[in-house]
Amino acid sequence: MLDNIEIIKKESMNLADKIYIFDTTLRDGEQTPGVALTVDEKIQIAQKLNNLGVDKIEVGFPASSKGEIKSAKKIGELDLDSTLVGLSRSLKSDVDAVLDADLEYIHTFIGTSPLHRDYKLKMSKSEIISKATETIEYAKDHGLTVEFSAEDATRTERNFLFDVFSQAVSSGVDFLDIPDTVGILTPIMTRELITDIKDNFNVPISVHFHNDFGLATANTLTAIECGANQAHVTVNGLGERTGNCSLEELVMTLKASYGIDLGLDTTRLYSLSTLVGRLTGVKMPVNKPIVGDNAFAHESGIHVHGILNNSATYEPMSPEMVGHSRRIVLGKHTGANALKSKLKEYHIDLDEGQFYKVFNEIKALGDSGKCVTDDDLIAIAITELGSAKETPIVLKGLSISMGANVSPTATVKLEIDGVEKEKANTGVGPIDAAIGAVRELVQDTMHIELEEYNLEAITGGTDALAEVFVITSDADGNKSTGRSTNQDIVMASIMAVLDSMNKLLLIKRA
Ligand code: KIV
Ligand code: ZN
């Protein structure tokens, strides 16, 4: 947190005394195209949201299906600290469904913009106000806490929006919510809108911002800076189309940039994100803030050097704050410090000559566009240590026969630990036949799986040099890379596989 934040907070922010986090992962988040959660999955997520400490959990839309009522009831049975909320259109029957689900808090909405009035609801302004207010009054009469959303509020004429909100307040609403239904706001527009609403209404104000232009978190933060009392959020920013304001981004910006602690156990954020990613099938991009794989990953030599001395040099918060972990990644930008720290992590001691050979090999792998894993590093370092001119498996002969209407056959001769063996094998093509022969020849020594195979022509023409890069794994799950360059693609393939197998054998025997 910066020194001048306290001044900014005092002079240009109008923070509410209490900021509520209203999570709608189980409702708007479930409206993410392709996502449908079972009752059991909703229970798992609700439990974790509760443990994190969110104030409210919108558990679903009870009027939409029997399953929604069932899941809301089951979540209710957990007796969580978070308040459970049910969504409802401005219809008495929807309120009844929320009551059937045993919920005590309703989030009722109706479209207010000209587009929603004319093309969706086909209702006049006065009909909209009547529907909204009679639903709020009906819900209040049944003892519910009521939050009212003017759907598409940000494209609604300001006068009409204020009319609807005034009538909602007169009907006893507890929270007024402002949905930016298609995410058109920008921070400066948000500042103007929220300030105007705060100046004119004396009930708690909530915001529900969508992310169509990637501004949902920035806009929600701006709304909070201008006095909004509540933010609607979803885990991983899930939701309709491009989603909603992301829970983890909002909470961590408030905490790490402003020092505003909402009382949430943020160390649970990463595991919650992982659970939601697994159950919804929506995987996070590696560069997703806070929870993405790269959120605390460092490759460049300059950055890693800084991180190793003091992680704050290139991290705005520690990974521990959100339950994530730091990763030092090897590649073309790797510096000597990063490599030394990695080797230390794996207790591998190299002399200076060996160290620079490994260093150069890692850079070369990175330069060729390959991602260098820790397994690659171990294999390269062990090969260098063993000074591993030692190659337990040596190719002694290879011949291929193929023709029209004849299955390609490869005859491979290997020397394995000094003993020569030969095998003929057929396959769908010459490479498949040859690699199959190798696997059979080595089966008494090791079991290998070909995890990845990449073939590239690195020069042009029919005599082009072919470069083959493979990743193989053994029965214990060890993985290793292999690489070879040859004018013959079968030869390049076999040599790459043998290269990788020899490294695996050296790891096993080290
Ligand atoms: O985005 C939206 O307008 C909504 C409403 C149901 C509040 O999700
Ligand atoms: Zn929404």
Tens-place pLDDT, residues 152-197 = 999 999 999 999 999 999 999 999 999 999 999 999 999 999 999 9
Query: Comparing 9 with 177, which gets the higher pLDDT?
Result: 177
The position carrying tokens 């961590």 is 252
The position carrying tokens 């040596």 is 394
pLDDT at 459: 60
Pocket perturbation via mutation, ligand 1, pick of 98, 110, 151, 212 by most ligand atoms within 8 A of CB? 151
pLDDT at 185: 98
Q: What is the rounded distance in angstroms from the CA atom of residue 58 to the CA atom of residue 46?
A: 9
pLDDT at 5: 81
181 CA to centre of ligand 2 in angstroms = 6
Q: What is the rounded average pLDDT for all residues in the chain? A: 92
Cβ neighbours, 10 Å, residue 363: 17
Q: What is the pTM of this model?
A: 0.78
Which ligand minimizes its atom distance to the CA of 149?
A: 1
The position carrying tokens 């004429």 is 157
Q: What is the rounded distance in angstroms from the CA atom of residue 359 to the CA atom of residue 376?
A: 12
pLDDT at 160: 98
Tens-place pLDDT, residues 427-474 = 999 999 999 999 999 988 888 888 888 887 666 666 666 778 888 888
Closest ligand 1 atom to Cα of 179:
3
Strand partners, 470: 453, 482
pLDDT at 402: 87
Tens-place pLDDT, residues 116-160 = 999 999 999 999 999 999 999 999 999 999 999 999 999 999 999
Which ligand minimizes its atom distance to the CA of 238?
A: 2
Q: What is the rounded distance in angstroms from the CA atom of residue 476 to the CA atom of residue 156?
A: 62
242 CA to centre of ligand 2 in angstroms = 10
Q: How far is CA 191 from CA 13, 224, 250, in A?
A: 10, 9, 17
Res. 32: pLDDT tops 90: yes
pLDDT at 386: 63
- Angle separating helix axes 125-141 and 158-170, nearest 10 degrees: 30
What is the Cα Rg of the chain in Å? Answer: 31
Tens-place pLDDT, residues 255-313 = 999 999 999 999 999 999 999 999 999 999 999 999 999 999 998 889 999 999 999 99
- Distance between alpha carbon 175 and the CA centroid of its chain, in Å? 31
Tens-place pLDDT, residues 97-119 = 999 999 999 999 999 999 999 99
149 CA to centre of ligand 2 in angstroms = 10
Q: How many residues does the chain have?
A: 510
Q: Is the CB of residue 179 below 6 angstroms from any atom belonging to ligand 1?
A: yes
Q: Is the CB of residue 149 below 6 angstroms from any atom belonging to ligand 1?
A: yes
Of 62-66, 215-219, 505-509, least confident by mean pLDDT is 505-509
Tens-place pLDDT, residues 210-257 = 999 999 999 999 999 999 999 999 999 999 999 999 999 999 999 999
Q: What is the rounded distance in angstroms from the CA atom of residue 255 to the CA atom of residue 237?
A: 18
70-91 mean pLDDT: 98
Percent of the chain's residues with pLDDT above 90: 71
Structural domains of the chain ordered from first start = 31-280 (3.20.20.70), 297-383 (no CATH), 387-509 (3.30.160.270)
Q: Is the CB of residue 299 below 6 angstroms from any atom belonging to ligand 1?
A: no
Q: How far apart are the first and last CA of the chain?
A: 48
Res. 378: pLDDT tops 90: no
Tens-place pLDDT, residues 470-502 = 888 888 877 777 877 778 889 989 999 998 888
pLDDT at 106: 98
Res. 205: pLDDT tops 50: yes
Q: Yes or no: say if 208 and 182 are a contact pair by the CB < 8 Å rule.
A: no
Res. 388: pLDDT tops 60: no
Q: What is the rounded distance in angstroms from the CA atom of residue 227 to the CA atom of residue 196?
A: 11
Percent of the chain's residues with pLDDT above 70: 97
- Angle separating helix axes 216-225 and 187-200, nearest 10 degrees: 40
Q: Is the CB of residue 208 below 6 angstroms from any atom belonging to ligand 1?
A: yes
Q: Is the CB of residue 467 below 6 angstroms from any atom belonging to ligand 1?
A: no
